[in-house]
Structures are given as structure tokens and as C-alpha cells.
Structure 1
């Protein structure tokens, strides 16, 4: 082998190690910005709308999603270049985090829907109760 080939192999190995480190770093950063379990479970609000708004805020995972995207990007490049000696652990970590983020994002959407629905429901129930009261008053007057 020529000196240039050995240098290229060394550089490739160094680049592969850096790529793996980038993937792992982004996975760690994504995990670090996930919502805290207690923030999702505990609520401190005066009414259901306050609880839902707090929950929706705590379920925001945009930063984690961006870190996962970066991890996947570097993983795909490394995988296609056959740069990783043991890519299975990275792939599994990405899949696990992707599944968790999907669950959190789904919960965020559901809470968002409830946040929009609850005031409408309250208004409709108030209107129905007022209509029933009005009807009862009219019957008493007759």
C-alpha cells in the first residue's frame, strides 16, 4: 500500500469516529431536552384549561426532534459509507428515541385538540343550561 492510501484510511477512520460521536451527542442532547416525567404528570392550575395549556407546553419536543434529525442525518451518511463497525446500537437508539418522540408528539396533538375543544364544550353546556333554565321559568310562569 502506498503512503497516501494509509493516510486516507487513517482519515476515514478518524472521520467515522467523529461521525459516531456526532450521532451519539445528538441522541444525548435529544434525550436531555425531552419533557420531564413529573412535568407531564403533575399539574398546577385553577381549571382544566390551565392544566391542558401547561401540559401542551411541557409536551413541546421541537428541540429534541431537531437533535434526532441531526443524529439520523449523520447516521445515514455513516451507514451508507460503511463507516461504523457496529451500527446496530446506533440504529436501535435512534429507533427507540423516534418511537418515544412519536408518542410525545401524538400526546401533544391530543392535548391541543382538547385545549381547543374544552372552551367550546363549556360554552355549549352553559348555553344548554341557560336554555333549560329559561324553559323552566316559562313553564313556571304558565
Structure 2
């Protein structure tokens, strides 16, 4: 292999590494864009608790954020194993940040979902308990 082709391989590797970094960053940007809006999650127009919980669940929809995070992680893993990034710790930190945020959103959604089921049951059970205590 001549020094010309080696230089060309290095140039191509550098170009591919830059493209991988850009791909990771683009997927992270898309993941951020797909995250729920803080204001819509915080405010409600509901007339009751169940309406508020259903509104919260809708507001917690992360859309395609998880898929974008998955794509970012795949490209990051390949780039890291190929030692293609000059500063993998910075990218790793960004990936982990989105991952933690999505985990929190998913936890909140699960809790809201549980309450969406539990609150109507309690609503129905409490009057029955009150009637039983009156007897």
C-alpha cells in the first residue's frame, strides 16, 4: 500500500468520523425536539383529577425521542469502538443526559397511568364506604 493510499484512508476515516459525530448530534437534537413541552405538561384545562391525569399522560408523550436516542446510541457505540471521536466523553454525556430525561418521563407516565386507573376506582369505592359507615 503506498503512502498516497494510506493518506487517503486516513482522510476518509477522518471524514467518516466527522459524519458519525454529526449523525449522533443530529439524532440527539431530534430526540430533544421530540421531548414533551414543559409548559403543556405543567398546565391543565381539566375539570377534574382524572381529566388532569389524562392530560398529563398525553403531555408526557415523548414521541420519537426514544427512537432518535436509540439511533444516536448505535452510532455512538460504533464510533467509540472505532476510536473515531476526539472527545467521546462529551458525546457520552449528551447521550446519557437524554437517556436519563427519557427515563424520568417514562417513570412519570407510568405513575400517571397507575393513578388514572386508581383514582376512578377510589372515586367509586369511597361513596360505598361512606354508605356502609352510615348503616
Pair in the same fold by TM > 0.5 = yes
CA-to-partner distance for each residue in 1:65-120, whole Å, 9 max, x for gaps?
Answer: 11111111100000000001111110111111111111111111110100010111
Matched residue SS, 1:83: coil
User: Could you tell me how far apart the structure 2 residues matched to 1:126 and 1:21 are?
Assistant: 59
> What is aligned with 2:79?
78
Runs of 4+ in 1 over 3 A off after TM superposition: none
> What is aligned with 2:28?
27
How many aligned positions are there? Answer: 134
Give matches, 1:1-142, under 5 Å.
1-133=2-134, 135=135
Contact 2:62 2:102 in 1 (8 A): yes
Output the TM-score relative to the length of structure 1: 0.89
User: Could you tell me how far apart the structure 2 residues matched to 1:36 and 1:95 are?
Assistant: 20
Matched residue SS, 1:61: coil
User: Could you tell me how far apart the structure 1 residues matched to 2:47 and 2:110 are?
Assistant: 22
Structure 2: unaligned runs, 5 residues or longer: none
User: Could you tell me how far apart the structure 1 residues matched to 2:67 and 2:130 are?
Assistant: 47
Structure 1: unaligned runs, 5 residues or longer: 136-142
User: Could you tell me how far apart the structure 2 residues matched to 1:58 and 1:126 are?
Assistant: 31
Q: What is the RMSD computed on CA atoms of the aligned residues?
A: 1.2
1:62 shift after superposition: 4.3
